[in-house]
Structure 1
Amino acid sequence: MSQHGEHDQTNGWFEEELGAVLRRTGEGFSVDDRRELVDGGLVRGRRRLLRRRVATVGGALALAGIGVGGVYGGSVLGAPGATEQASVAGPAPTARPQDTGMAEIPVADLAAVLKAATPAGAWQIDGLGGVGQSVLGVYDDGKGKAAVSVGLYRAGTTRESGIGQVTCPDRTAVPYDACTSERLPGGDRLMVLQGYEYPDKREETKNWRAVLLTKDGFLVDASEYNAPSEKGSAITREDPPFDPAQLKALVTAEGWRPLLRQIPVLEPVKTRPGASHGTSAPQHGPDVGETLRSLLPSGKGLKVVEKSGDSTGGYVVVDDGTGKSLIGINVQPDMNRVRDDLFGSGEVTTLPDGTVVKLEKRPGEKGGAGVVWWSADTMSQDGFRVVVSAFNSGAQHESATRAEPALTTEELKTIALSPKWRERATR
């Protein structure tokens, strides 16, 4: 296995748009037992899982793709590990497949594969009478109860859509103890990550995760914890029950293969004639991080100490001698579908050419003590969105290193409105 940690997975600061996206998708889930919405926080959990996926997948691609109605479709919201509590008090609610695009796989079939692919132990499984494409339960090997979940998904309309899911995240965004990524014989890809439920480790809950991307474009995503629930429970053991080799055995089990074939085909992203084909379309020229570095204001003594980028997002960590500051960029064409959600509130300015600009200052959201988050969000009339964010720390989950970010909101705005973003997107 090879160690990876240099890929740009730092787009967690763009999670605010998930609220807009999830209002369009999460509210559509029909449940037969609304008690679970109180006991387990199903919808809230699904939102949290999507945020976690964004944090560990290529965030720019994932957010933008979902924002225009594509890439992961409904299946990601029916994911495992999503409830706030792995409750086994009663049957779990079942979302109707026709409403969500989810498969109608009997949970009992999923549970059978889960049990067969893990060491002997006692299981309590949620929703055995239901259908879906995920299974959630509590495992006990006599050393402490642990929540375990497995979900099955299509990676997207192309296999490349799932590469970020099996690429180790950048530690600037996601702290972890170990992560490996490898290509398996036959062409599948695998990532095993040993991390934490909370980036700032304010609780001792560990989250170990294995994700398999099959050569035909399916994902098997397993998570385990050292507590009987993802959140809100005291830990029961030092580590989750399955070691990395056992997690690998779980997600690569042959029993998942016939179940994967039952997952509905995702519809490709539809765009209006003449528009860009969503943010999953390849973009040429310098990566976004390189362009961001070229636009940093001169004369401020900014030294780039960390950097990363891909075709849709990037970041730099700069230090002017008074402390590190994280600055991130996300470029998303054809985002008019979420215009009202993103720019329908707050202080929004419309420029003469029709571009809308929203400047914000708010507290950080990743647990770092004293962290503040400043941003400039812009969208042109044709939906070309550029959002730049800055923090007063080198990573969102770490304590502030300075009183304010290294760039002002006006400087962030200048970067976001640069014509270079259009130039690189049309090359």
Structure 2
Amino acid sequence: MLLDKPGEEPFEDELGEVLRRTGDLFEPIDRGELVDGAVARGRRRLARRRAAAVTGSVLALAAVGIGGAYGGGLLGASGDGESSVAAPTWSVTGGADGVVTDKDMIGILERLVPVGELIDTQARGTHERGGPSVSGVIDDGMGRAAVSVGLFRVSGAEATGQVTCPDKALVPYESCTGTTLADGSRLMIYQGYAYPGRPQDTRSRRAVLSTADGFLIDAHVYNAPMVRGSTPSRTDPPLDPQQLKELVTSDAWRRPLSQLPTTPPGEDRTGKEGGGAGIVSGWDVRNALVSLLPSGLKVSGEGYQEEYAYVVVDDGRGRSLVQINVQPGMSADVIFGEDATTLPDRTKLKTEKGPGEKGGKGVVMWTVDTVRPDGLRVVISAFNSVTQHGVATRETPALTMEQLTSIATSERWLSYS
């Protein structure tokens, strides 16, 4: 152990749901067309980089889900119980132990689950596209419960965002704690819901370990046999926070982690996907967005991740969420079809006003979506609320459609083409 121990959905459907949930947990909101369209390409690439395991980030859109960024974490360092505990230094350097198969991954999880029997298992080995991951159902006689573990390489702000507790004002959850280990690794324990906007539904517990060596072990357990399509089978997930911590800090994961390639399949070493455009830094997107905001707005919250940033602004009449995605290598024909305006520089533009998509009372979403002739897509949305899960904080968003259009079409974004 890295820490001393104290005394009927197909797998790919489940994976897709988890990746969407990643956005819901670490982002303040679900982006609808913004997420499903503008972020689709980035999410697919992110899924590959993170081994496409059956896990999610607490704030992945801002980690909108347990996947946001305040000072490196999408939704910010608001975790409780900050402390440092002793743990031996762990360094993975290998590749010599041979391929870790899907059966090996299942065997590891079976050995590490401390209660009941692990059934309905599915996994990927280190040689498979997407990287190592394993999932199953824990049957301890008190209600079947889904469990999953994914292994990834991470670095920089992405790593920090995965182990930074979300802002509770933006993402509803029961508790979240962050612990720094003696070797510099970071452990986060999250207890909340599979769908933060619907706390009456499936409950989730999650443990994430980000090592100082650039690896991430991400484990989820639920109180239902499937994350969606089934009702809760028990009050609480079968693994408590201590058991989840022991699960992710086990040295049993060393061998599969040592097999993770430096460059994931399908992505070259320049950070480009299939020879296409490069990845845009979330920090750069954040800086550009803040510089382009109209005067008179106070920024009271912010977050970022790859190709995405958000700010919460206040003009004295209530707080308003603004979020933006910047993605090179997109196709206007695929995104818009013929339903778009062509600007003089041949940029395709589409605007839309509509309700929020998470059921927040009175929440509206204003969106400007653009694709330049070279394929650079900039899509920005503003809301009359801090989060779509809550209630409206004002009548309309703090930015007008004209101001959103000005930001989306700014020449500031040309450097990312």
Unaligned ranges ≥5, structure 1: 1-38, 82-102
Counterpart position of 1:291 = 291
Give the secondary-structure state (helix, strand or coil) at the position aligned to 2:177.
strand
1:192 is aligned with what amino acid? Answer: I
Question: How far apart are 1:148 and its partner, in Å?
Answer: 1.0
1:242-321 map, 5 Å: 242-264=239-261, 265-266=263-264, 267-268=268-269, 269-270=271-272, 277-280=278-281, 283=284, 287-288=287-288, 290-292=290-292, 294-295=293-294, 304=298, 306-310=300-304, 312-318=308-314, 321=317
State the Cα deviation string for residues 24-44 of structure 1 (Å, max 9, x = none). Answer: xxxxxxxxxxxxxxx314443
Deviation sequence 1:160-189 (CA, Å, 0-9, x none): 543322222334543222222333222322
Name the aligned partner's letter for residue 272 of structure 2. Answer: K
Unaligned runs of 5+ in 2: 1-7, 57-97
Contact 1:208 1:225 in 2 (8 A): yes
Task: Give the Cα separation in 2 of the matches to 1:316 and 1:130.
Answer: 41
- Write the deviation string for residues 344-402 of structure 1: whole angstroms up to 9, x where unpaired: 353x2222123222212233223324433210122333444432211232211113345
Q: Residue 23 of structure 2 aligns with which residue?
A: 54
Q: CA RMSD in A?
A: 3.8
Q: 1:272 to 1:113 in 2, by over 3 A?
A: closer
Bigger fraction of residues in helix: 1
| 1:411 equivalent in structure 2 | 403
The answer (yes or no) to whether the contact 2:119–2:137 under 8 Å persists in 1 is: yes
Residues 221 and 320 of structure 1, relative CA distance in 2, 3 Å threshold: same
Q: Which one-letter code corresponds to 2:13 in the other structure?
A: R
Instruction: Give the C-alpha shift of residue 222 in structure 1.
Output: 0.6
Q: Larger deviation: 143-152 or 406-415?
A: 406-415
Contact 1:355–1:379 (CA under 8 A) maintained in structure 2: yes
Contact 1:289 1:310 survives alignment (8 Å)? no
**Does the CA contact (< 8 Å) of 1:67 and 1:337 recur in 2?**
no
1:341: Cα distance to partner?
A: 3.2
Determine which of 176, 179, 184 is the counterpart of 1:182.
179
Look up the match of 1:352.
344
Q: Determine the C-alpha separation between the residues in 1 that align with 2:338 and 2:168.
A: 33
Residues 74/390 of structure 1: CA separation in 2 closer, same or farther (3 Å cut): same
Q: How has the CA–CA distance of structure 1 residues 224 and 53 changed in structure 2, closer, same or farther, with 3 Å as cutoff?
A: same
Q: Is the 8 A contact 1:188 1:213 kept in 2?
A: yes
CA distance change for structure 1 residues 329 and 245 in 2, over 3 Å: closer, same or farther? same
Residues 128 and 402 of structure 1: is their aligned pair in 2 closer, same or farther, counting only changes over 3 Å? closer
Is 1:389 equivalent to 2:358 in the alignment? Answer: no
In structure 2, distance between residues paired with 1:104 and 1:174: 39
Normalising by structure 1, what TM-score?
0.69
CA contact (8 A) 2:210 2:216 kept: yes
Q: Distance in 2 between matches of 1:375 and 1:202?
A: 27
Cα pair 2:311 2:323 within 8 Å, conserved: yes
Contact 2:137 2:144 in 1 (8 A): yes
Map of 1:197 onto structure 2 = 194
What do residues 94-118 of structure 1 show as CA deviations (whole Å, max 9, x unaligned)? xxxxxxxxx9743332233223333
Shift of 1:129: 11
Counterpart contact for 1:65–1:72, Cα < 8 Å: no
Q: What TM-score do the two structures reach when normalised by structure 2? A: 0.70
- Say whether the 8 Å CA contact 2:26–2:166 is kept in structure 1: yes
Residue number in structure 1 paired with 2:329: 336
Deviation at 1:342, TM superposition (A): 3.0
State the SS of the aligned residue for 2:162: helix
Paired residue for 1:149?
A: 148
The Cα of 1:289 is off from its aligned counterpart by 5.4
Equivalent pairs, count: 351
**Are the equivalent residues in 1 in contact too, given 2:332–2:348 (CA < 8 A)?**
no
**Distance (whole Å) between structure 1 residues aligned to residue 175 and residue 136 of structure 2:** 25
